[in-house]
A and B are shown apart, each in its own frame.
Chain A
Amino acid sequence: MKILVCMKQVPDMESKFRINDQGSWYDESDLAWRMNEYDEYSVEQAILLKEQVGEGDLTVLSIGPKRIQETMKKALAMGCDRGVHVNDVKVHEKDPFEIASIIAEFAKDKNFDMIFTGMQSQDRGSGQVGVLVAEMLNLPCITTIVDFAFDNGTVNAKRELEGGVKAKVSAQAPVLVTCQLGLNSPRYPTLPNIMKAKKKELAVVEVGDLLTVESRLETPKISLPEKKSGGLILEGEVGDLVEQLVTLLKERTTVFA
């Protein structure tokens, strides 16, 4: 069984973001980088599937500059067999259509039996890439899955809807699924597996070799949101903070009434 999982490296969302000099994106210096949270679930599900069928080849693909190899190594240490790093220092300027085209161009003649992506990325959150890849490759696509079972070529998945309701959906492989938070429990790479991952193949492909389309979205302007809230910010010693909050709760709420 041939499996592809698409993974993105994103900044830690607890970072303090600043705007770059051109005002076109966030300043990438001083950020800590990690695996997109949604992709942790898709990497895990891909590995679980390979373990279930007992054979196969699992490729993790990621697009970005050299620093993404660190995160790719994590995916390899979790259990992917090989990595394909699509080298692109300007990945942040690509729109979802271009990103999907790059992935589809890579995948089109490889006959993957299953493709896993996250339902969205934590930084841009377009939620488009997985669906676009499936449409470009003419594959059935099930988005936002919180449950996945594979039985003899049939995918039985549950899509998560608003309010926690689920839609039960099935399709015949090859299928692309986009993974939602909570789908499984992503494993932590063990030290021996981290060592083993160092020997796994990590091929580098230049983005120019796979990109055949033009962007459809205008170079964005990016800004910090104006602070709208008139909310109070309390800082200081814990003891003082407790007193201040209790006073506020007495004045402004009826919870002690």
Chain B
Amino acid sequence: MKTLLVAEYRDGRLLGSTYDLVAFASQLGGESAMFLVGSDSDLPQYDGTLYLADSAKYGEFNPSVHKQLLLDVIDKEQPDMVVFNHSSYGWDLAPRVALAMGAAQISEVVDIVDGALVTPVCNAKLRREIKAKTAKCVVTLQAGAFTLSGEPSGTVAVEKIECDAKSLVVFNGYEESEAGGVDLSKAEIIVSAGRGIGKPENLEIIRSLAKALKGEYGASRPVVDSEWAEHNRQVGTTGQTVSPKLYVACGISGAIQHIAGMKKSEFIVAVNTDRDAPIGEVADVLVVADLKQFVPALTERLAG
């Protein structure tokens, strides 16, 4: 199996998730090469050819141009599989490339079983094995599903590439998330509210428990999206990454984007009415209960 790995750059830096691609390729076995729109100043540690286009010239986000740069390399290398991260860059670019190649795409791969690729369905409550019918295929990898066992190492053989495709969109730069507020990454105890709290008034139940435990309160994304809590309380891939001694997830189902932000917690308690909620996969203790009854009772017990 010959793979082409599509590395990722953000704000002039190589993203560490690039090494997930390397881990995946080595699990598959066979030759690989790498593609990057980036610069000489931060190159991946990898033994192989790196096709490098200059991000100063082509931009870090410019799908139609990145697509063309990549298609030229695919033409030359003839890989069996083109591998992306399932990230904001990868899920944007991969389908464009797959369509142009006439290839099937398998998104958010978490495992390889007997040659079939496994992807999650229904918030990871189900697993699905998929095979491409086309000779070549494109895949995106779930963040953290494949990781290098050791430190990355190696030296790339850089081959510079150019193209003159037309941009269909204009990239006007980045906007940082609002700074300030709490730094949850330093908290030792976090009690988080999920959509299961039902209504904004119930956030108070979660805050009271956090207070009784002398910790901070956090939230899942829907709670923040509904403006029941500030964005600086959000835990997950598009919020903060935390690793407290105790994390209590109340009414949180355990979507991968949430788990990615809290799975390094030392001890995880989940409170959920759904015994099958995927949060159970990472929880040390799953309390099957209605948080509206259980959480106040726990708070009272701790205060008493």
Contacts and interface: CB of A to CB of B under 8 A. Distances in A.
Interface stretch (A45-53, A189-197, A224-232): A224-232
A223 B128 CA distance: 6
A125 B171 contact: no
Interface stretch (A62-70, A126-134, A201-209): A126-134
Given A122-B123, A141-B92, 11 more contacts: A19-B126, A128-B105, A171-B170, A221-B116, A223-B128, A233-B286, A235-B275, A242-B298, A245-B298, A248-B285, A253-B266
B172 A144 contact: no
B115 to A, nearest CB: 11
Contacts of B119: 125
A143 B245 contact: no
A142 B266 CA distance: 38
A104 to B, nearest CB: 10
Interface stretch (B39-47, B68-76, B287-295): B287-295
B153 interface: no
B134 interface: yes
A215 B133 contact: yes
Contact of A222 (B124, B128, B275): B128
8 contacts: A14-B253, A17-B126, A131-B91, A161-B89, A162-B237, A167-B174, A182-B225, A232-B286
A215 B127 CA distance: 20
Contact of A167 (B61, B125, B266, B288): B61
A170 B172 contact: yes
Contact of A253 (B246, B280, B281): B246
Given A122-B123, A182-B221, A238 B297 contact: yes
Interface string B178-206: 00000000001100000000000000000
Nearest to A243: B301
B106 interface: yes
A170 B109 CA distance: 31
Interface of B: 10, 61, 63-64, 86-89, 91-92, 94-96, 98-100, 103-108, 116, 119-134, 140, 168-177, 188-189, 213, 221-222, 224-226, 231, 234, 237-239, 245-246, 253, 266-267, 269, 274-277, 280-289, 293-294, 297-298, 301-302
A16 B130 CA distance: 23
Contact of A223 (B88, B126, B301): B126
Given A135-B99, A169-B170, A233-B280, A216 B302 contact: no
B133 A217 contact: yes
Contact of B61 (A135, A169, A245, A248): A169
Given A169-B61, A246-B301, A26 B253 contact: no
Contacts of B91: 119-120, 127-128, 131, 143-144
A164 interface: yes
A17 B127 CA distance: 11
A164 B234 contact: yes
B222 A168 contact: no
Contacts of B94: 128
Contact of B285 (A132, A136, A185, A232): A232
Contacts of A140: 64, 168-169
Main secondary structure of the interface of A (DSSP, over half): mixed
B177 A158 contact: no
Contact of B281 (A144, A224, A229, A239): A229
Interface residues of A, number: 77
Contact of A239 (B245, B282, B297): B297
Interface string A152-169: 000000111111111111
A13 B217 CA distance: 25
Contacts of B234: 164
A185 B172 CA distance: 26
Contacts of B107: 96, 125-128
B161 to A, nearest CB: 22
Contact of A124 (B99, B121, B281, B289): B121
B96 A135 contact: yes
B18 to A, nearest CB: 13
Contacts of A238: 289, 293-294, 297
A164 B231 contact: yes
B99 to A, nearest CB: 5
B266 A125 contact: no
A159 to B, nearest CB: 6
Given A16-B276, A17-B126, A238-B297, A233 B288 contact: yes
A217 B280 contact: no
A22 interface: no
